[in-house]
Amino acid sequence: MLPNSAAPSLINASTGTLISHLECPNCGKIYSTDVVRTVCENEACLSSLLARYDLTGGLHKDILIGRVANMWRYKEVLPIVNEENIVTLGEGFTPILRLKNLQHLAGKIEVLWKDESGNPTGSFKARGIGAAVSKAKELGINTIVTPTAGNAGGALAAYAARAGMQAVVYMPKLTPQVFKDECRLYGAELIEVEGSISDCGKLANEQAVINSWFQVSTLKEPYRLEGKKTMGYEIAEQLNWQLPDVILYPTGGGTGLIGLWKAFDEMEQLGWIGSHRPRMVAVQSTSCDGIVQAFHSGQVTATFVDGGFTIANGLRVPKPYADKLILKVLRDSNGTAVSVPDVLMSAALKEIARHEGMLIAPEGAALWQAFKQLKANNWIKNNEQVVLLNTGSGYKYLENIEV
Ligand SMILES: *Cc1c(COP(=O)(O)O)cnc(C)c1O
């Protein structure tokens, strides 16, 4: 007779994570990953903390063969220690789609969409929140709170439901109804706020301190970045370990941009890729383009810019917490920054829907317009390969689009 002990030992299986510590990229201070952390406690820093792994032993990329087609295929470079703490809805391993009927507008440039719209809750926020909620579970947290422009709130609500945790979400009133309804349906407490995500952030922070809730505000919590970086691993794996020449990214808080860059460094350390790096492009809404302004005026931090509503709700981030890290990636990569007005985002969204069969988020649509500009300026050149990172589904934004 077979012993019945296989199940428990499976449940207690280790992920094999190579996680080592958290590090402040500003002052170098090191923190343990065994306790709850937000940002660097050095008052002169208060920087986002970065998860560091022990990659010196290397890891052969053949380990990926036959693994699950979601972001946990990269579990050695994710922060969870016990498999049982992984809270997943199948996020990640999204397709890369070649431009089909609009390729003539790209000429000799190869345009690829990394399409995140099929993720649980309809955006790439599922990756970051999936990692953050999993680590929060591992650290014994019960209540988790976030300010959001929309998609992070829905993702947090869903993953908290899955994990058996309580979620509290602060969202601007001027957000399409579906973002609010999904939070409530997933059992989160939703607080609607006059103003932008910055106003939501202040309230969320006050209440988190009073109630001892754990905050997963963008880049004030170290593990959302880890989930989002898996896009970088996927782009490399799906392109046969050859990174593209340019990546366009719709930048709100900047997690994806910083995460991609971090993934590239880790993969080089692992020996999975060489030293070639894409030029990274931050794309913003003209109504909220603090990073674009700071980049072009040579500043190392961004100033607060809030022009109010934009159809790309996820891009209404008046001052990203990790502005320094975003600007550093743009400069280190020889990248650039471009802003796009709502009317052109809307037109781009319709063009992609009609000719490519993809109903992408306005944030993603902004990239198509930015691409055309960069091609016209010859910043992107013939024979280059470009990845446009569509961060979410357009279905949630229909209220913002005149059909
Ligand atoms: C949140 C969000 C963004 C911005 O992501 P950051 O990581 O905050 O830069 C872009 N697009 C969509 C659809 C989003 O939900």
Task: Give the position, in ligand 1's atom list, of the atom nearest the Cα of 128.
Answer: 7
User: Which pLDDT value is given to residue 7?
Assistant: 47
Please tell me if the CB atom of residue 362 comes closer than 6 angstroms to any atom of ligand 1.
Answer: no
Tell me how far the alpha carbon of residue 90 lies from the centroid of ligand 1, in angstroms. Answer: 19
Determine which residue's CA is closest to atom 5 belonging to ligand 1.
Answer: 252
Please tell me if the CB atom of residue 153 comes closer than 6 angstroms to any atom of ligand 1.
Answer: no
Residue 188's CB is within 10 A of a number of other CB atoms, namely 26
Distance (Å, whole) CA 233 – CA 229: 7
**What sign has the CA pseudo-torsion 334, 311, 234, 328?**
positive
Tell me how far the alpha carbon of residue 256 lies from the centroid of ligand 1, in angstroms. Answer: 8
Please tell me if the CB atom of residue 147 comes closer than 6 angstroms to any atom of ligand 1.
Answer: no
Tell me how far the alpha carbon of residue 323 lies from the centroid of ligand 1, in angstroms. Answer: 14
Please tell me if the CB atom of residue 393 comes closer than 6 angstroms to any atom of ligand 1.
Answer: no
Please tell me if the CB atom of residue 227 comes closer than 6 angstroms to any atom of ligand 1.
Answer: no
Tell me how far the alpha carbon of residue 8 lies from the centroid of ligand 1, in angstroms. Answer: 39
**Domain ranges across the chain:** 91-403
Q: Which of 322, 334, 327 is nearest to 293 (CA)?
A: 327
User: Which pLDDT value is given to residue 3?
Assistant: 47
Radius of gyration of the chain (CA): 20
User: Which pLDDT value is given to residue 10?
Assistant: 52
Burial 273-304 (b: 16+ CB within 10 A, else e): beeebbbbbbbbbbbbbbbbebbeeeeeebee
Tell me how far the alpha carbon of residue 129 lies from the centroid of ligand 1, in angstroms. Answer: 12
Tell me how far the alpha carbon of residue 198 lies from the centroid of ligand 1, in angstroms. Answer: 15
Testing ligand 1's pocket by substitution, the residue of 117, 124, 231 carrying the most ligand atoms inside 8 A of its CB is: 124
Distance (Å, whole) CA 304 – CA 199: 12
Task: Give the position, in ligand 1's atom list, of the atom nearest the Cα of 251.
Answer: 9
Determine which residue's CA is closest to atom 4 belonging to ligand 1.
Answer: 252
User: Which pLDDT value is given to residue 58?
Assistant: 80
Burial 209-235 (b: 16+ CB within 10 A, else e): eeeebbbbbbbbbbbbbbbbbbbbbbb
| Residue-by-residue pLDDT tens, the chain, 403 positions | 444 444 444 556 899 999 999 999 999 999 999 999 999 999 999 999 999 999 988 899 999 999 999 999 999 999 999 999 999 999 999 999 999 999 999 999 999 999 999 999 999 999 999 999 999 999 999 999 999 999 999 999 999 999 999 999 999 999 999 999 999 999 999 999 999 999 999 999 999 999 999 999 999 999 999 999 999 999 999 999 999 999 999 999 999 999 999 999 999 999 999 999 999 999 999 999 999 999 999 999 999 999 989 999 999 999 999 999 999 999 999 999 999 999 999 999 999 999 999 999 999 999 999 999 999 999 999 999 999 999 999 999 999 999 9
Tell me how far the alpha carbon of residue 361 lies from the centroid of ligand 1, in angstroms. Answer: 10
Testing ligand 1's pocket by substitution, the residue of 391, 393, 395, 400 carrying the most ligand atoms inside 8 A of its CB is: 391
Phi and psi at residue 3, in whole multiples of 5°?
-65, 155
Task: Give the position, in ligand 1's atom list, of the atom nearest the Cα of 259.
Answer: 7
Please tell me if the CB atom of residue 151 comes closer than 6 angstroms to any atom of ligand 1.
Answer: yes
Please tell me if the CB atom of residue 252 comes closer than 6 angstroms to any atom of ligand 1.
Answer: yes
Domain 91-403 listed as CATH 3.10.450.50: no
